[in-house]
Structure formats: C-alpha cells, structure tokens
Structure 1
Amino acid sequence: MPNINILTVDDSVSMRLLLRAALTKEGHQINEAEDGVAAAEWLEHHQPDLVITDINMPRMDGFGLIEHIRAQPRFRDMPILVLTTESTAEKKARARAAGATGWIVKPFDPDQLNSVIRRVAH
C-alpha cells in the first residue's frame, strides 16, 4: 500500500503518540493537531489523504471539524475517521450526518485501525 498522508487530531498528547507509533510503523506520514482549530488552520495549506479526529476537544470539537472540512469542495471525497471513547448511536449518527467516513472506539487496536485505513484511503 502506498504511503498515506494522515492528519491526526486529538487533544491528548499520549493518544497522538500512540497514533503516530501505530501509523508510522505502517509507513504512513503523520501530521498532528491538538484540536479542531489547529487542524483547520493546518488544512488551509495542506491536503492530507485522510483525517483521524477525536470528538471531545477544546476550542473546536470533532463534529465542528468534520463540518468545517466537508464545507470545502477540495475535501469532499477525503476520508474522515472518528477515533473516540464515545460509542452512543446518537453520536455516531451525528458524526455520519456531519460527513464522517467511519468510527473507531478507543482504546484502538493498531491492526484494526490500519485495516480500516486501507479500506477507506484511495
């Protein structure tokens, strides 16, 4: 599989480190943002292949970030995965309605995460 450029968005430093370890091991290029505002600013000048975002973050949560990304035509087809401790049907439906491609519950299994990435990244 070709190297995938991934933006991970999570306010937890330890979660960003876990994601970096799991994803770089597969050869992916990782960029990181600590919340939705930082991610939105980074996305103004970059075009990743995939975004993985948490839901509960300060300044701009994952729902707001997904809506922000989907409002831009150049990101219309980019996969967005939600990686969160949340697992309610209501939150999943809200993320899907905002434009999320998939949902993974923390703690994540690195092999499962990479399998999902292979399925959604083109």
Structure 2
Amino acid sequence: MKALLFTVATLFSITAMADQCAYISQGEAERAALLLQKGSVVAEYCELCGDTTATVSTVKSVSLAKVANGQYTQVSVNGKAVDLAYLYLQVAPGKKVNVAQAVNCESLDATTVSSVIK
C-alpha cells in the first residue's frame, strides 16, 4: 500500500513540475509576448519530459488566452500552447535565454540547452 501511495504521489509531482509556467499571470504573459516577436528563433526543450533534443522553430504568431476561469493566461506560439519554463529564445548567435526566467515566472532551475541546441 505504501508503494502505491508513493507511486501516485511521484506521478503527481512530475506532472506539476512539467507545467511550471504554462498558466501564468497576465503581466508575465504580456512580457513574454513582447519578447517573442515574429521572426524570433525559439527552442522547446524539456529534459524532465524526456526530450533528448530541442525543437527549434521561428515565431510566426503569438497569442494569449485566459484559462482556468480567467485566473491565468496561457501563451501560444505558432498556435501551440507553451510552457515558458521550457521555451528558450535565441538572443544572439549561440546565446539563448529561458523565457520563464526573462519574464520572472518562478520555476525550477531551467535546463541548460547548450548541448542540445546547435
């Protein structure tokens, strides 16, 4: 019985960590939208989720939507909802910044992406 409870608790904690900055404040979302300009290069990488390589794309559109009965805002890039904790913005050749950190969304330490984003 204890093993079952431990397994269930572990699964819930992993799920909670995987959605760190998916639902954020309106202010955080607006700051993210300002950073994620059309034509910017972004990379999605979630080591916690099991990603082994980053998905790199060019921003074509950014939208904000109210979620959770209007309590939070969700950012979508190119029509796909994103968790800012796992989204990296290229700011210079070879230099990427974590979008969650840039907009002050509290999250666990962002994974370094230098080894997976070329």
TM-score range, shorter chain: under 0.3
Q: Indicate the structure with greater helix content.
A: 1
Larger radius of gyration: 2
**Structure with greater strand percent:** 2
- TM-score of the pair, normalised by structure 2: 0.27
TM-score (norm 1): 0.27
Larger RCO, structure (CA 8 Å, separation 6 or more): 2
